[in-house]
Structure 1
Amino acid sequence: MSWRMPAEGARQERLWLAWPTGGYTLGDTAEEAEEARRTWAAVANAAAGFEPVSVVVHPRDVDLVARYLDGSIEVFVREIDDAWIRDSGPTFVVDDEVPGSLGAVTWTFNGWGGQEWASWQHDSTLGPAVADWAGAERIDSPLVNEGGGIHVDGAGTVLVTETVQRDPGRNPGITRKAVEAELARTLGTTTTIWLPRGLTRDSSTFGTRGHVDIVATIASPGRLLLHDQRDQAHPDFAVSAELRAALSEARDAAGRLFEIVDLPAPEVLRDEEGFVDYSYVNHVLVNDGVIACAFDDPRDADALAILRDAYPGRTVTAVDARPLFARGGGIHCITQQQPAV
């Protein structure tokens, strides 16, 4: 088989999520748990207005999800540890030469590099389970990787970060060449663009060590959206400059320099835990739509306008993503698209 990961904007069969079920994702109080459930549901219900949605639910939560989810949403029951299905679930691919083919890359998942705060007993086998439910052919990979650690243009280009795929907690001693070969085998990519790092908070104790899906995405072949922190008081001001410098010299699989479109960071700089990593880059595409992060921030309107321009013909729906970022991710992180075949 010759597998290829389509661009996220390609036509989709459905969108997958997992339901928050415990630990830091739910929080310590009933109010925090309610906030988490309402936020995950807001994303799922917004997506259900555009395409079918499936949600993986822990057995103990089966009865309560009906209070939150749209009736059209399909529920799959399974023990899970956490709710970041972009990372613990599979990455779907297709074979252009075999009509109707659907593959699912089941990365090795070890809790974002064996983080002390993470648990992955059940999530380490979630990828194969979702692949089976989707009727996809499994493509097992020894590479420790997550869906949030890659972005593709569907035409041979993939964005990654040095601090994720080459993280000693994930793939100790691995070379760029070995990572690129495995991405070529599983995703069909021919050009790997290595970014030096991710955002500051995402690189700290409770982050992913630098996922790309919070800093940059390829909106269309040759056109890239880049997180732009404009306040010099934020440590990501320097990070944005470093990433822009790297990307300004990068060429995609077609040999083009990227048109870089800046997506401004929100004006808010800190929350009670420190400098935030709020990012409008962490949106998800659905059929004819975009589910976008909002932060009740003065920059929301400008960012949503940029997204409308980047994805012409799509309806942009904003969801307050602050509860997600407080728990360590965003809208893209809690979703995984299954392409149509």
Structure 2
Amino acid sequence: MTWRMPAETAPHDRTWMAFPTAGTTLGESTADHEEAYTAWTAVAHAVAEFEPVTMLVDPTERERAAQRLGSGITQVEAPVDEYWMRDHGPTFVVDDERPGVLGAVDWIFNGWGDHEWSEWRKSAEHARIIAELVGAELVSSVLVNEGGGIHVDGAGTVLLTETVQLDPRRNPYADRARVEAEMARTIGATKAVWLSRGLTRDYDDFGTSGHVDIVATLASPGRMLLHRQDSTEHPDFEVTRDLRAQLSQETDAAGRSFEILDLPAPAAIRDDEGFVDWSYVNHLVVNGGVIACGFGDDRADAAARDVLEAAYPGRKAVTVDARPLFARGGGIHCITQQQPSLPSAR
């Protein structure tokens, strides 16, 4: 069998999420808790306007989730500690030789490198739980990896980051060749494009050490969307400049140079914790739409919607305030995971 991860632009059967639970990510105060519940709920309802959403809900949050999500979002009870579904949930794949078969890659998840604060042992089971729920074949992996650490074009190209897959806290014995072989086996990637690093804030203690899904994504084969920081005061000014220079020299699985479309960052460069990593790259493509991160910057938010709608013709971009998500270490793409439709179901 040959597994292949479809592009995010391929038709979806649904999007998977996990409802917040008590813990470090939720925050300390009642206001922090409310902000998190509201943010996750807002994303779920935005996605549900375009395609079905299924939410894993911890038993302790059953009543709250039912009240906030309503009947329009399917709720499935399962143990939850972390709720960044992109990272601990399954990465769905298909087998082009068996059109009716869905696969679910079960990466090893260790809380982004087993930090002291990370609570991950319950959510590390989500890939297996969801695979069983949807009848997918489980594709077990020996690689510590997260869904936010990869982006694909569905045609053989995968974007990776040296500081993620080669992170000694994740894969102390891995090298590029081993990672690339596992990407070929599990998601059908024949060409890996390695970013040298991610955005600055992502290397804080609560970061992921360079997830690609806030830096770059592949809108279509040969076309890349790339975060751009225009403020010379921000350390990501040099980071994104250097990444653009690097990626402009790269080619995809078909040997094409990338057409790079810039997604400029919003004007704000700091929050209470320091330099922000606010990025419009961290969007979710859904059936007929794009769920875009918003940062309270009307001009920049609107400009990002224009870029996204041009990059994904025929889709409507909708903005959801992502500041509460980024304050907790991620964005809209990080809390969602798409399940592709199988050819026989289209």
Number of the residue aligned with 2:3: 3
Between 84-93 and 122-131, the greater mean CA deviation after superposition: 122-131
5 Å-filtered alignment, 1:121-200, equals 121-200=121-200
Number of the residue aligned with 2:245: 245
- Residues 22, 82 of structure 1: 8 Å contact kept: no
Letter in 2 for 1:104: A
5 Å-filtered alignment, 1:301-312, equals 301-312=302-313
Shift of 1:204: 1.7
Hey, what's the Cα distance between the residues in 1 that align with 2:106 and 2:33?
30
- Residues 57, 77 of structure 2: 8 Å contact kept: yes
Number of the residue aligned with 1:83: 83
Hey, what's the Cα distance between the residues in 1 that align with 2:200 and 2:183?
26
Shift of 1:173: 2.7
- Residues 83, 123 of structure 2: 8 Å contact kept: no
Hey, what's the Cα distance between the residues in 1 that align with 2:302 and 2:286?
20
Number of the residue aligned with 2:69: 69
User: C-alpha deviations, 1:53-105, integer Å up to 9, x for none?
Assistant: 10001001011112211412111111111110100101000011112110000
Number of the residue aligned with 2:59: 59
User: Where in structure 2 are there 5+ consecutive unaligned residues?
Assistant: none
- Residues 88, 127 of structure 2: 8 Å contact kept: yes
Q: TM-score, normalised by structure 2?
A: 0.97
- Residues 15, 337 of structure 1: 8 Å contact kept: yes
User: C-alpha deviations, 1:148-180, integer Å up to 9, x for none?
Assistant: 000000000000000000000000031100000
User: C-alpha deviations, 1:4-56, integer Å up to 9, x for none?
Assistant: 00000000000000011022322111111111111101111111111111000
Hey, what's the Cα distance between the residues in 2 that align with 1:289 and 1:304?
11
Hey, what's the Cα distance between the residues in 1 that align with 2:263 and 2:99?
37
User: C-alpha deviations, 1:271-316, integer Å up to 9, x for none?
Assistant: 0000000000000011001100000113111111101111111111
Number of the residue aligned with 1:41: 41
Number of the residue aligned with 1:338: 339
User: Where in structure 1 are there 5+ consecutive unaligned residues?
Assistant: none
Number of the residue aligned with 1:228: 228
SS state at 2:197 partner: coil
SS state at 2:98 partner: coil
Letter in 2 for 1:56: L
Letter in 1 for 2:126: L
| 2:268 aligned with 1:268 | yes
Letter in 2 for 1:86: R
Number of the residue aligned with 1:113: 113
Letter in 1 for 2:303: D
Hey, what's the Cα distance between the residues in 2 that align with 1:102 and 1:266?
38
Hey, what's the Cα distance between the residues in 2 that align with 1:328 and 1:301?
23
Number of the residue aligned with 1:278: 278
Hey, what's the Cα distance between the residues in 2 that align with 1:90 and 1:169?
21
- 1:76/1:59 Cα in 2 relative to 1: closer, same or farther (>3 Å)? same
SS state at 2:120 partner: coil
Q: How many residues in Structure 1 have an aligned counterpart in Structure 2?
A: 341
- Residues 250, 257 of structure 1: 8 Å contact kept: yes
- Residues 106, 139 of structure 2: 8 Å contact kept: yes
Hey, what's the Cα distance between the residues in 2 that align with 1:109 and 1:86?
11
Letter in 1 for 2:314: G
Hey, what's the Cα distance between the residues in 2 that align with 1:47 and 1:206?
26
Residue identity (%): 61
Hey, what's the Cα distance between the residues in 1 that align with 2:22 and 2:165?
27
| 2:189 aligned with 1:219 | no
User: C-alpha deviations, 1:210-268, integer Å up to 9, x for none?
Assistant: 00000000001111000000101000001101211110010000100000000001110
- Residues 48, 70 of structure 1: 8 Å contact kept: no
- Residues 57, 77 of structure 1: 8 Å contact kept: yes
Number of the residue aligned with 2:93: 93
Letter in 2 for 1:308: E
Hey, what's the Cα distance between the residues in 2 that align with 1:173 and 1:97?
33
Hey, what's the Cα distance between the residues in 2 that align with 1:291 and 1:227?
16
User: C-alpha deviations, 1:121-143, integer Å up to 9, x for none?
Assistant: 21121111111112110000000
Hey, what's the Cα distance between the residues in 1 that align with 2:141 and 2:84?
19
Letter in 1 for 2:226: L
Hey, what's the Cα distance between the residues in 2 that align with 1:5 and 1:195?
20
- Residues 218, 225 of structure 1: 8 Å contact kept: yes
Letter in 2 for 1:194: W
Q: TM-score, normalised by structure 1?
A: 0.99
Letter in 2 for 1:66: A
User: C-alpha deviations, 1:180-220, integer Å up to 9, x for none?
Assistant: 00000000010000000000001121100000000000001
- Return structure 1 stretches of 4+ with deviation > 2 angstroms: none
Hey, what's the Cα distance between the residues in 2 that align with 1:81 and 1:64?
16
